[in-house]
């Protein structure tokens, strides 16, 4: 008698590094080890919100959200987006302006961020906390794909840009205020942890181990068969140019996506510490914990 497959409610983002890394699972190219993955592809803020509502067993999340959810989730060793030169960009609709300067009419400026619990928003809060506190700028949350179009229309003053937009902002006629990832690297010396795969702590140990093993196999499969992943990425990407998609993968998929290792774990520890120091996450929360199979 065949054993019924264990259903796993999983969700990942629509960004190319996720659809690349999970191509093997989405298309059953790797051994699923008796797991039946029910997968949703969502915007990162939808993923964060779904985890807060316990809608998923396993899901991609911003490490900002992971820090808040650390009491009920593990970060899995495989599937993370972490690295050097991968940070979000703070863009402006006008040249030579900054959220730290007062607008011409003396009113606060508007800064668009890609979701309350995204790591991009956390970085903006870490580095521009004084401008926020003094009401020089006001944060407004939007889906990441809306931010650059709104800046182009001059419907906002600043925007924190993530995903494919990192490669296309110049052709959109926008201006770079600061690379928030570069600032993180200069201040910490660590790679920037953007997002990772969270799993519920109350899952059975044997199930957790199988999930981690399948995700690891899927990441490795994508790295070994990059051309095969392009149709999977195109289905969800905001940018359909193959060169841009692969540039995105080359930037966000690396050795720490395969396994966080000691360097990745230390970067998560630094992020947790800074978030606690700035009171971005509750003081009572434990640090982010990486699952050990």
Positions marked catalytic:
163
What is the per-residue DSSP string for the chain? -PPPPEEEEEEEESSHHHHHHTHHHHTT-S--TTEEEEEEEE-HHHHHHHHHTT--SEEEEEHHHHHHTTTTEEEPSSS-EEESS---EEEESSTT--TTSPPTTSPPEEEEES-TT-HHHHHHHHHSHHHHHTTSEEEEE--HHHHHHHHHTTSSSEEEE-GGGGGTTTTTT-EEEEEHHHHHHHHH-S-EEEEEEEEETTS-HHHHHHHHHHHHHHHHHHHH-HHHHHHHHHTT-S---HHHHHHHHHHH-SHHHH--HHHHHHHHHHHHHHHHHTTSS-TTSPPP-B---
């Amino acid at each position: 008698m065949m054993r019924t497959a264990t259903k796993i409610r999983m969700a990942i983002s629509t960004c190319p590094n996720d659809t690349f890394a999970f191509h093997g699972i989405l298309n059953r190219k790797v051994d699923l080890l008796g797991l039946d993955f029910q997968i949703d592809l969502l915007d990162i803020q939808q993923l964060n919100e779904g985890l807060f509502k316990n809608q998923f067993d396993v899901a991609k999340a911003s490490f900002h959200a992971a820090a808040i959810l650390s009491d009920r989730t593990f970060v899995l060793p495989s599937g993370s987006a972490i690295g050097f030169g991968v940070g979000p960009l703070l863009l402006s609709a006008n040249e030579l302006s900054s959220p730290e300067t007062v607008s011409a009419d003396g009113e606060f400026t508007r800064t668009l961020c890609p979701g309350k619990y995204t790591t991009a928003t956390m970085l903006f809060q870490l580095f521009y906390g004084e401008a926020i506190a003094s009401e020089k700028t006001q944060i407004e949350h939007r889906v990441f794909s809306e931010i650059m179009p709104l800046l182009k229309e001059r419907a906002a003053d600043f925007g924190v840009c993530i995903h494919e937009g990192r490669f296309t902002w110049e052709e959109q006629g926008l201006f770079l205020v600061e690379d928030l990832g570069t600032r993180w690297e200069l201040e910490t010396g660590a790679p920037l942890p953007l997002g990772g795969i969270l799993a519920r702590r109350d899952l059975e140990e044997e199930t957790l181990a199988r999930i981690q093993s399948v995700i690891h196999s899927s990441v490795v499969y994508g790295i070994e068969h990059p051309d095969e992943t392009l149709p999977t990425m195109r289905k969800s990407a905001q940018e359909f140019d193959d060169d841009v998609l692969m540039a995105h993968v080359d930037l966000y998929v690396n050795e720490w996506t395969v396994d966080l290792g000691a360097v990745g774990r230390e970067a998560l520890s630094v992020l947790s510490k800074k978030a606690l120091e700035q009171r971005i996450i509750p003081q009572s929360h434990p640090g982010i914990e990486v699952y050990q199979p």
